[in-house]
Amino acid sequence: MSQDILIRKEGRAGRITLNRPKALNALTWDMCLKIDAALKDWADDGDVALVLIDGAGERAFCAGGDIAAMYRTGTAGDYDFGRRFWADEYRMNARMAEFSKPVVSFLHGFTMGGGVGVGCHGSHRIVGESAKLAMPECGIGLVPDVGGSLILSRAPGRLGEYLGMTGTRMGPGDAIHTGFADRYMPEEGWQALKAELCLSGDCAAVEHAAEAPPDSPLAARQAAIDAHFHGETLRDILSSLRADGSDFARETLEAMAKGSPLSMGCAVEMIRRLRPRATIRDALAQEYRFTFRAMEHGDFLEGIRAAIIDKDRSPRWSHDPDHLGEEDVAAMLAPLGDDALHFGEEGQG
Catalytic residue among 11, 82, 113, 114: 114
**In degrees rounded to 5, what are phi and psi of residue 107?**
-105, 100
* Among candidate residues 163, 140, 168, 139, the one with its CA nearest the CA of residue 152: 163
Element (H, E) at 282: helix 280-297
> Is 145 an active-site residue?
yes
In angstroms, the CA 266 to CA 260 distance is 10
DSSP 142-188: --S-TTHHHHHHHSSTTHHHHHHHH---B-HHHHHHHTS--EE--GG
Within 10 A of 269 (CB to CB), how many other CB atoms are there? Answer: 21
Catalytic residue among 54, 137, 161, 299: 137
| CB-based contact 110:55 (threshold 8 Å) | no
| CB-based contact 280:145 (threshold 8 Å) | no
* Among candidate residues 203, 202, 201, the one with its CA nearest the CA of residue 10: 201
Catalytic residue among 11, 14, 65, 298: 65
> Is 74 an active-site residue?
no
What are 54's strand-pairing partners? 17
The runs of H, that is alpha helices, within 155-277 are 159-166, 172-178, 190-200, 204-209, 217-220, 222-228, 234-242, 247-256, 261-274
> Is 259 an active-site residue?
no
In angstroms, the CA 348 to CA 219 distance is 35
Catalytic residue among 4, 145, 174, 182: 145
**In degrees rounded to 5, what are phi and psi of residue 17?**
-120, 120
> Is 114 an active-site residue?
yes
Within 10 A of 320 (CB to CB), how many other CB atoms are there? Answer: 8
Single-letter amino acid, residue 122: G
**Residues with catalytic function:** 65, 114, 137, 145
